[in-house]
Amino acid sequence: MVNAMFRVALSGDFRKPDGSPTYPDFDLEPLRNAPGIEMAFLESNNPLRGDQLEDFDALILLAHRFDATSVPKSGRLAVVARFGVGYDTVDVEACTAAGIALVITPDGVRRPVAVSVITLMLAMTGKLLTKDALTRKGREGFDKRSEHMGVGLVGRTLGSLGIGNIGAEVFRLAKPFDMKFVAHDPFADSKVAAELGIELVGLEDLFRRADVLSVSCPLTPQTHHIVNAERLALMKPTAYLINTARGPIVDQEALTKVLQERRIAGAGLDVLEQEPPNADDPILKLDNVILTPHALCWTDQCFAGNGAADVKAVIEVQHGREPRGVVNREVLSSEAWKRRLAGFAARFGT
């Protein structure tokens, strides 16, 4: 017999070993107080096991993997709500085959990640870390400050590999800098590009023209190592590369060599091919790269926004409504999904 409550599971990594919340800014009270909902934390297994989810209707997923073995045999699970926009830890095909909707939180990360891109751009062009180090040397450092002139942004070209949710927001935030905007995105919304003053260009042209090039596309088989040795060789020696998306989009070995040989001015990376990197990774020893631990966008507002979006998605499904941010939209026309949604609508109303 199906539990009368709409049961929501949260992956075990939302709690620390002592049971306290990993991220207190994720407010669970709206979920706890929602009529008809019962929530529970899973044991920390990576990937999640299907038997853990047999009696749940929804899953809010942090960093643990969800693969084909995570799909419960009961057929009850209707939605996996990822805490964030990256879903390379989720087997999308397995979800679709089981009639499970995969939901992400574009509204929660749009502004925080775009701010991260701007932060890295300003830090690199302003030589922030270099000037911080000079200051700490006292007079000796101050005497060398004229040797480390920053780069002004007016009239420079900001390029983006991708102008979706985050890429477009980067250009919105960069508007006051009076830069030229170029982007490459085979799925670009030409209306959005026109509204933001973005010139859509070919992939190679993007690398040739950008003074600051930001990677803002998802990791897919098509984008894996799309930033490779050949394309890095097209960049200006004065150009900067920023990656806040996913590490494997960039061939890190090729980028390391380019940075070592000073063939571009520098890079700002919030993501790496291997996370965490090995202590002897050569990229860690370079002084022309700024590195952050896949967490530059992590703010109280970011995590509150992601959590609120996931909670809203789960409650929408509970009431038989289609949630925002569905990745595998083909599942919405499947009989399994329609049957589940109709059942929820009948039980909990709309």
Residues in the chain: 350
Catalytic (active site) residue 246: yes
Catalytic (active site) residue 329: no
Of 231, 246, 273, 340, which one is the catalytic site residue? 246
Which distant-in-sequence residues (6+ apart) come within 8 Å of 78 by Cβ?
57, 58, 99, 100, 101, 317, 337, 340, 341, 344
Peptide bond into 277 cis (omega under 30): no
- Which tokens is 144 given? 């060398």
Q: What separation in angstroms does the CA of 52 have from each of 1, 11, 71?
A: 18, 10, 9
Of 93, 195, 204, 275, which one is the catalytic site residue? 275
> Using alpha carbons only, what angle is made at residue 284 by residues 281 and 285, rounded to the nearest 5 degrees?
105
> Using alpha carbons only, what angle is made at residue 103 by residues 301 and 248, rounded to the nearest 5 degrees?
80
Of 294, 321, 324, 347, which one is the catalytic site residue? 294
Which distant-in-sequence residues (6+ apart) come within 8 Å of 180 by Cβ?
155, 156, 157, 158, 199
Closest CA to 227 of 246, 201, 255, 202: 255
Catalytic (active site) residue 294: yes
Alpha-carbon gap, residue 71 to 4, rounded angstroms: 21
Answer yes or no: are the C-beta atoms of 204 and 234 closer than 8 Å. Answer: yes
- Which tokens is 350 given? 């709309």
Catalytic residues: 246, 275, 294
